[in-house]
Structure 1
Amino acid sequence: MAIERTDATLWSIQYLRAAAAVGVIVFHQMQMRHRIFGLGEHGVDLFFVISGFIMVALTDARPTRPRTFLLDRIARIVPPYWIATLCAFLVAAVDPYFYHGSTDPGLLAKSLFFVPARNAFGEIEPTLFLGWTLNYEMFFYAVFALTLFLPRGRLVVLCTLFGALVAIGRPMHPTGAATTIYTDPLLLEFAAGAILGRVFGAGAAVPASLRQVLAALAVALVLTLLAFWSGRLLFGAVAVVLVAGGLLLERGGAMPRLPWLKLLGDASFAIYLFQQFAFVLVGKSLALTGRLLHHAVPHLLIEALNIVAAIALGLLVLRLLERPLTKTVKEALRRLSGEPVGLRAAA
């Protein structure tokens, strides 16, 4: 989910990242009001497809060593995720009613190192429950890094491996946390995004072509057919259409440049990770105004405040924490490794 920002080259991707993050927040706040808000949950599917697209597009544009790739992913993901996870652990220790909070040190250790595990509720979720998506992301990054050793055919190897894992896992019905995640059909969304990355590339100046349209439709069709086997892949197909459609519009010169929406895309990782803390802050703030006033505030208004607060907190985290911390960690890793740490899109 934490992907390299593409600056001014891929505005459509930034817009979709913003939509995915806000969609997840709206789902968490409004899902009980109407089932239409349940669609926000599938912002995660969009994140997975985007992640596959970006990783292939960027590494195709500039050959990347596996070590450089992994260091870059560590610098981008680990610092904000560790901070959010440790905050969740501390908040749960102070407030036992913190949503799905856990004070289990064993789960905390596994969470910090992206080891899938079940929590006290029997769910495969880390200490920060939102981090379940990062267990998928880190597995994808680990496999993708291994494919970078190959001189050619890495996309075929990646797609074949994920397809094989899903095919093996489906009839087995695994119960272990790791085996459940590492054979989940959701892995196919990364593969689908990776194919788009190869077909479209990272440059926004490349003209759109019929080949790109047909390839995107073919990938979406395959996921749609597989949805009869695993229903959630239908939303992966929709994500493929959205990503491809955005890229085609951008390359056709029909994508407006909206700095505020791009900024939300930049902050999407922070918005996603820290949203629960924004919800807690709103709840505590309303409680401090007095029980009478708290009960007088309509639930719809509280939900709206939570959504706004989550976005605002994410923007603050991006500016005050994520950007400077990522820069510092990248510089430290560069000094330790003796090589550049970073992925960049081709102009």
Structure 2
Amino acid sequence: MDRLTRSHRGAAMTTPPIVAPATARTPIFEGVQALRFVAALLVVITHATFYAHERLDDSITVWNGAAAGVDVFFVVSGFVMAVTAGPFAVRGGWRFFAVRRVIRIVPLYWVATTLKIASILVLPGAVLHAALTPWTGVASYLFLPARNPDGAVEPLLGVGWTLTFETAFYAVFALGLLLRRNVLVFASTVVLVVASGHLLRPAEDWPAWAVYFDPLVLYFAIGMAIGRIAGLPRARRGLLLALGAAAAFTVVAALAPEGISWQRDALFRKGIVAASFVAVVLAEPLFRRLASRRGADRVLRRPLLALGEASYSLYLFHPLIGPVAPAVLALIGLRAGALSVVGTIAVSLVAGIVIHRWVERPLTRRLRGLPYAGLPPDGRTRQAVASERAADRALTRSPRSRRRDLNP
């Protein structure tokens, strides 16, 4: 089913690093955190209309805005890697980077995948667009590309197709840290080379592993470029971000293949994604000012940040929860498409927040005790340690306390 999402389809170095130095405190970009929620919400809305169309009333139009949400996810990943890589650019830092990425991505995804497999076994008639075989099960847990019954390259948990790209990107980033190279240049070069592979990929009947050649991976490079520029002096930042957005739009549009479904409106979509992300980064001072205004902070800023924190849980679990709304309406004979869409969005938001609070945060906190789960010793400055401890405390403290810790 998530073919819809695709179809519109983070000691010295041998070279000077272009990542944030380990002596500087890693900045907290609150606007980017809020943008995570917006991206996840776009995906949820698209899927809500699809569930209503497929399970309740096929006259309901499917809204395809999820494409921009997925694009934003990839830009955010590249951006986060660029602004947080500094402490890991030391000897042995790649191990710490890899373990922290695994803790962030893998456990919750495995929980969601296990629940999806359980639903296939217990309620096979209620699960569409997924078939459990030994290979699809193994591939899903290992983030390996495999085709589903519809021919789309995606895991049993359909939305996990984006994590196939994310984990590959993190592996490339870890390799750059291991080789002690200029990690942003290394990762960007690999991304550009891989994206150019789409020129050699046949239009159809290509092997599942060739999915990595999708030009969508260029968004990782765009995010890294924006992250790098965001660390420059403010006087140069605006101009460089604007020029970078224009260049990114041109490159992505030029490499986007013609004649396939996700290309539809691609130029407009890619321009909007680049512009919106740049605007959010530039608007960071606005989020800071909101923190000083009690009303705006309580009504807007804190809820957006809390929802941004829960965006991963929302993204992973809404396909398991969302179809309940149209299924219940169909059971009682009420063909109300709008009610189905609103119901799916509502139950998905509630489930995402609950799962984040009672599953994701406790699980992450427990795994933070694993070896290499902190910052590498050579990269641990007093400020970096303080930031890490504040983030750890934020996993269990109230929104008001989290705000004090993360904004001393």
TMscore range, shorter length: 0.7 to 0.9
- 1:320 matched residue in structure 2: 358
- 1:22 matched residue in structure 2: 41
In 2, the alpha carbon distance for the partners of 1:40 and 1:295 equals 29
1:301-326 per-residue CA deviation (whole Å, 9 max, x = no partner) reads 11101101001100011001000001
Q: Is the 8 A contact 2:43 2:66 kept in 1?
A: yes
Residue of 139, 144, 148 corresponding to 2:173: 144
Structure 1 residues 115 and 233: CA distance shift in structure 2, 3 A: farther
Letter of the structure 2 residue corresponding to residue 24 of structure 1: V
- 1:160 matched residue in structure 2: 189
Letter of the structure 1 residue corresponding to residue 223 of structure 2: G
Task: Determine if the alignment matches structure 1 residue 85 to structure 2 residue 113.
Answer: yes
1:1-45 per-residue CA deviation (whole Å, 9 max, x = no partner) reads xx7xx999321011100100111001112366557x322332010
- 1:265 matched residue in structure 2: 308
Percent of aligned pairs with the same amino acid: 30
- 2:399 matched residue in structure 1: none
1:42-98 per-residue CA deviation (whole Å, 9 max, x = no partner) reads 201001001100011011366461110110011111111001011111111222231
- 2:210 matched residue in structure 1: 179
Q: RMSD over aligned Cα, in angstroms?
A: 3.1
Letter of the structure 1 residue corresponding to residue 273 of structure 2: A
Aligned residue pairs, count: 330
1:157-185 per-residue CA deviation (whole Å, 9 max, x = no partner) reads 2222211122233233381111222x211
- 1:222 matched residue in structure 2: 247
Task: Determine if the alignment matches structure 1 residue 53 to structure 2 residue 84.
Answer: no
Greater Cα offset, 257-266 or 99-108:
99-108
- 1:69 matched residue in structure 2: 97
Q: Is the 8 A contact 1:274 1:314 kept in 2?
A: yes
In 2, the alpha carbon distance for the partners of 1:234 and 1:111 equals 33
Residue of 207, 218, 223 corresponding to 1:188: 218
Q: Is the 8 A contact 1:208 1:248 kept in 2?
A: no
Task: Determine if the alignment matches structure 1 residue 296 to structure 2 residue 361.
Answer: no
**Structure 1 length normalisation: TM-score?**
0.85
1:205-240 per-residue CA deviation (whole Å, 9 max, x = no partner) reads x8733x222322233223322314414475344323
Letter of the structure 1 residue corresponding to residue 275 of structure 2: V
Structure 1 residues 338 and 238: CA distance shift in structure 2, 3 A: closer
Structure 1 residues 337 and 102: CA distance shift in structure 2, 3 A: farther
Q: Is the 8 A contact 1:110 1:116 kept in 2?
A: yes
Greater Cα offset, 139-148 or 95-104:
95-104
In 1, the alpha carbon distance for the partners of 2:95 and 2:372 equals 11
Structure 1 residues 306 and 253: CA distance shift in structure 2, 3 A: closer
In 1, the alpha carbon distance for the partners of 2:75 and 2:347 equals 27
In 2, the alpha carbon distance for the partners of 1:34 and 1:335 equals 46
Superposition pairs of residues 100-139 of structure 1, within 5 angstroms: 100-139=129-168
Structure 1 residues 13 and 162: CA distance shift in structure 2, 3 A: same
**Structure 2 length normalisation: TM-score?**
0.73
Letter of the structure 2 residue corresponding to residue 142 of structure 1: A
Ranges in structure 1 where 5+ consecutive residues have no aligned partner: none
- What secondary structure, in the 3-state scheme, does the structure 2 residue paired with 1:295 have? coil
- What secondary structure, in the 3-state scheme, does the structure 2 residue paired with 1:272 have? helix
Structure with the greater alpha carbon radius of gyration: 2
Residue of 28, 37, 44 corresponding to 2:70: 44
Greater Cα offset, 45-54 or 158-167:
158-167
Structure 1 residues 150 and 8: CA distance shift in structure 2, 3 A: closer
Structure 1 residues 254 and 332: CA distance shift in structure 2, 3 A: closer
In 1, the alpha carbon distance for the partners of 2:268 and 2:97 equals 30
